[in-house]
Structure 1
Amino acid sequence: MGSYCFGIDVGGTTVKCGLFQTDGTLVDKWEIPTRTENKGENILPDVANAINLKLEEKKIDKADVEGVGIGIPGPINSKGEAACAVNLYWGFTPVAQILHDLTGLKAKAGNDANVAALGEAWKGAAAGAQNVILVTLGTGVGGGIIIDGKIVAGAHGAGGEIGHVTVVQDEKEACNCGNKGCLEQYASATGIVRVAGRMLAASEEDSTLRGLQNITAKDVLDAFKAGDTLAGRIMECVGGLLGSAIAGFAAVVDPEAIVIGGGVSKAGQPLIDCIQKHYIRHAFPSCKETPVKLAILGNDAGIYGAAKMVL
C-alpha cells in the first residue's frame, strides 16, 4: 500500500495538480498550462511529466505511490475513457490507460464535476457523508452525485448531469447541449445574466441594474444582497428553478447534504437561503431537513476528489 497519491484536475486553461498523503493531507499543489493545440495531444504527456518531476523533486519512489486520479471536463465511462472533451479538443481518449502507460502508476479518470463532488464529500463541506449531491454553478451548471461513498457515473458517464434537467417547458432558445429549457440556461452565471436581461426588458421597474453596461452574474447577486427588488425577483426565479430541480434529485438520492459550489456560490449565504427556501417547498417530506451547504474546497475540490478516486 503506497503512502502517497496524485490528484489531477484538468481545466480548459490550467491543469491543477496535487500530491497527497493517502490520509488526505495535501503535501503540495501546483498548476501547469493546459496545452489544447493539436487536438490536446500534449495534455496527458504534460501531466505525466509533471508527476514524474514532482516524484524526483520530493525523492518519492513510485512504489510508495498508490496511484493517480484525474478529472476531465466531459463524460467519462467506468473504464476511464472519454467519448470526447470539447474544451480540450479531444475525440475518443482512453484517459486512464494513457496515464497509466505514461507513468507506470495505477490511474483512474472521472468527470470533473463528479470528482469535485467526491472531494467535497471526502474533505469538504460534506466531510464524512456517504450520500451527497453537489451542484456547481459556474459558466455552466455541473453536478455530481455520491452514493455510498462512490461517484454515480452512469452508463454513458452522464450521471449527475443536473444542469441538463428540463426545468422550463416552453423555452424557445436552445441550450449548448441542444435541448431547450435546461437548468443551465437559468442558474449558471450566463443563465442568471439571461434571466436578468429578460426581466429588465419585461418591466419598467426601477433597479440599480438598469444603469449598468454588460451586466454580470456578480452584479445581479450584489444587487440582490443590497435589497434591489428587481434583482430579488430575478433570484427568486433562479432559486425557484434550482430548488425544485434539486428536490427532484433528492427524491432519488436522499442525500445527507446538498452542496453548492462554483463561481456563483461566492455570493454566499443569501444565495443558499434563496435555494433552500424553494428546496424545502418542493422536497419530499423525509428530505426537507437536508442541509444545503456552501462548498468549502473551492478550486481544490477537483484535486481532492481525483486523489480520493484512486484510493
Structure 2
Amino acid sequence: MDSIELILASAVRLAIPLAFAALGEWIAERAGTLNISLEGMMLGGAFTAVAGAHMTGSPSAGLAFGVAAGLLVAVVHATFSHRLSVNTYVVGLTLNVLVLGLTSFLIMRTESRQVDKLTIPLLSDIPVVGPALFDQRWPAYLLIGLVPAAFWLVHRSRWGLEARAAGENPGSADVSGIDVNKRRRQALMICGVLAGFGGAYLAVAEVGTFNQNMTAGRGYMVIAAVIFGGWLLRGTLAGVLVFGAADAMRLALPALGYELNPQFLIASPYLLALIAMTFFAKSHRGPAALGQPFVRGIT
C-alpha cells in the first residue's frame, strides 16, 4: 500500500465514528438543537461499549451498551433543555464534564476486544479506494443504509417536516399543532443513539479498549462538520471526511518521514475545525431557530 492509499485508508477509518455522530447531530440541528453534549454522548458510548464487551465477552454486544449510554445522555439533556427550559448550552457542557469525570473515575483495565473486519471481495481490490472503502470493521457498512435513511427521515417523512419546522419557525409550528419541544427531544434522542454508536465504534472497532478522554474533542469536530457542510447532509459528510483526513495526516506524515512540529500536527484537526466554523458559519444559513429555546406562549 503506497502513501496515498495509506492516508486515504486512515482518513476513512478515522472519519467513520465521526460520520455516525454527524448523522445524529445533523438531525438534531435541523430540529433546532445545537447539541453541545455530543462529546459526552460519544465518550459515554466508548466507555460503556468496552465495559459491555468485557462483561459479555462480545464486542458486538458492547456496541449496544454504547448506544444505551448515548441515549441516556440524550434523555437527560432533552429533559433539562426541552422540558424544564434550562439553557441548553449549560446543560450540554455540564454533561460533557460529568461524563468525562465519571469515565475517568471508573476507568478499568480490560483486554483488547474488537469487532470483526469484513472485506468485500472484488470491491476491496479496486486500486486506491478499494482498501479504504471495502476493508473495514463490519459496523462501518451500516452507514450505507443509515445515510439514505437519515435523508429520508428529515426530508421525506412527516416527522422530518415537523422537526424542520421546529428548527425554522417554532412559533408557527406550534400554531399548526406541532409539539415543538417533543420533536426536539425526539431528534436529540436519535442523535444520542447515533453518537453513542459512534463512540462505541471508536472503542470496540478501531482501538479495542478505552483510554481516558479517548474522544479528545471529536464531538466538537462533528458539530463543526455540520456547520462546515452548511447543514446539508452531503456537506456534513464531506466535512467529516475532511476532518478525518486532517487527523490521518497528523498520524501518517511522521511515519512517512516528514519532520513537522508535533504540537502543530496534534492541533491541526482542531485548527481546521475552527477555520471551518469561522468561514462557513457566515456563508451558509442554518435553521433560523437553532439553539433558541421554545416556551409556549412566550416564544
TM-score range, shorter chain: under 0.3
Q: Which protein, 1 or 2, shows the higher relative CO under an 8 Å CA cutoff with sep ≥ 6? A: 2
Larger Rg over CA atoms: 1
Normalised to the residue count of structure 1, the TM-score between the two structures is 0.27
Q: Select the structure that is richer in helix.
A: 2
Q: Under a length normalisation based on structure 2, what TM-score does the superposition of the two structures give?
A: 0.28
Q: 1 or 2, which has the higher strand percentage? A: 1
